[in-house]
Amino acid sequence: MKDRVIVAIDVQTQQDFERLSHELKGQATFVKVGMELYYSFGPNIIKVLKELGYKVFLDLKIHDIPNTAMKAAKTITKLGANMINVHAAGGVEMMTAARLGMEEALKENPQLERPIIIAVTQLTSTDQQMIEKDLCIDRPIHEVVVHYAKCAYEAGLDGVVSSPLEVKLIKEKLGSDFLCVTPGIRPKTISGDDQKRVTTPQDAFKRGSDYIVMGRAITNAEKPSTAFNEIIESIRN
Ligand code: C5P
């Protein structure tokens, strides 16, 4: 179960990074490096976390022309991340290119472990009003998410990032092996912050999530390792 709760280490200072990475060591097993941490410390952060024994989800959400996406995916695969991602909004051709870039890196470095490659469908901070008003998409958000998931499947990716609310529909369409990694998670007592499509950790797993991603509910707690272990206990129960 611990492997299925990915902790987002969204911090910018050395002090915060050391506090969290050392406190969660031996408790959490899978952590997420997002733009905030990566842009603050650079690629070496993956090595540092791997040496501390963590698996790493490198959440850089590649979204560019296919050639650039391919080169970017190839480069980040070489860093040894266990999970990488792209934006499904980049389209099937871009996602396919990213997968091929990842595979090229593996061919050149056969000792590398193949990372899980997934696509972000719609951010969990997005709601129906936003996709209509800002993105000019005139369809229910769950239909958009499932459509993006189908595109990711067609591109040969391993799964998607979605809200737990869409997991059942995605698995019905694409099969239970197609991974659903779900942020937008809050225990009942904690505010959703900027997240809009939110569930509890227990509900996310009930709905079929393969992995949940949790940041602030753990990292802002007075004792993050206790918060993490309480969440694991509550899911087990
Ligand atoms: O603090 P919180 O639990 O809301 O953090 C969620 C993390 O998951 C953040 O690092 C955010 O960038 C990431 N994420 C997300 N929604 C997505 C994809 C990634 O919230 N669709």
pTM reported for the whole predicted model: 0.95
Cα of 108 vs centre of ligand 1, distance in Å, is 32
Q: Give the DSSP H or E segment for 211.
A: strand 211-214
**Exposed/middle/buried for residue 133 (C-beta within 10 Å: 0-12, 13-18, 19+):** exposed
Whose Cα sits closest to atom 5 in ligand 1? 215
Q: What is the pLDDT of residue 198?
A: 86
Residues 205, 201: Cα–Cα separation, whole Å:
7
Pocket of ligand 1 (CB under 6 A): 8, 10, 34, 59, 120, 123-124, 161, 183-184, 193, 195, 213-217
Predicted pLDDT of residue 158: 98
To the nearest 10 degrees (0 to 180), the angle between helices 14-23 and 224-236 is 40
Cβ contact 110:137 at 8 Å: no
Ligand 1 centre to CA of 231 (Å) is 17
Instruction: Ligand 1, residue 34: give the atom nearest the CA.
Output: 10
Share of the chain above pLDDT 90, in %: 93
Is 61 part of the annotated catalytic residue set?
yes
Ligand 1, atom 3, lies closest to the CA of 215
> What's the confidence (pLDDT) of residue 190?
77
pLDDT of residue 188: 84
CA–centroid distance, residue 103 to ligand 1 (Å):
26
What confidence tens digit (pLDDT) does each residue in 5-35 have?
Answer: 999 999 999 999 999 999 999 999 999 999 9
Say if residues 110 and 103 touch (Cβ distance below 8 Å): no
87 closest CA partner among 101, 102, 103, 66: 66
Per-residue pLDDT band at 138 (split at 50, 70, 90): very high
How many Å lie between the centroid of ligand 1 and the Cα of residue 110?
A: 31
Of 46, 15, 42, 12, residue with least CA distance to 31: 46
Contact 198, 218 (CB under 8 A): no
Stretch 204-214: mean pLDDT, rounded? 97
- H or E element, residue 60: strand 55-62
Residue whose CA is at the smallest distance from ligand 1 atom 20: 183
Percent of the chain with pLDDT over 70: 100
Q: Cα of 236 to ligand 1 centre, how many Å?
A: 23
pLDDT, position 1: 86
Burial environment of residue 29 by CB neighbours within 10 A (0 to 12, 13 to 18, 19 or more):
middle
- Arithmetic mean of pLDDT, 31-52: 97
> Beta-carbon neighbour count of residue 82 at 10 Å?
18
195 confidence band (pLDDT: 50, 70, 90): confident
80: left (phi over 0), alpha (psi -120 to 50) or beta: left
Is residue 28 within 8 A of residue 228, CB to CB? The reply is yes
CB 70 within 8 A of CB 117: no
Residue among 100, 69, 212, 87 nearest 151 (CA): 87
What residue type is 2 in one-letter code? K
- For 83-95, the pLDDT digits (tens) are 999 999 999 999 9
Question: Residue 129 burial (CB < 10 Å; 0-12/13-18/19+)?
Answer: exposed
Residue 141: pLDDT above 80? yes
Q: How far apart are CA 41 and CA 58, in angstroms?
A: 13
From the CA of 32, give the closest atom in ligand 1.
10
2, 25, 61, 71: which is the annotated catalytic residue? 61
Radius of gyration of the chain (CA): 17
C-alpha 76: how far from chain center = 15
Tell me which residue has its CA closest to atom 2 in ligand 1.
215
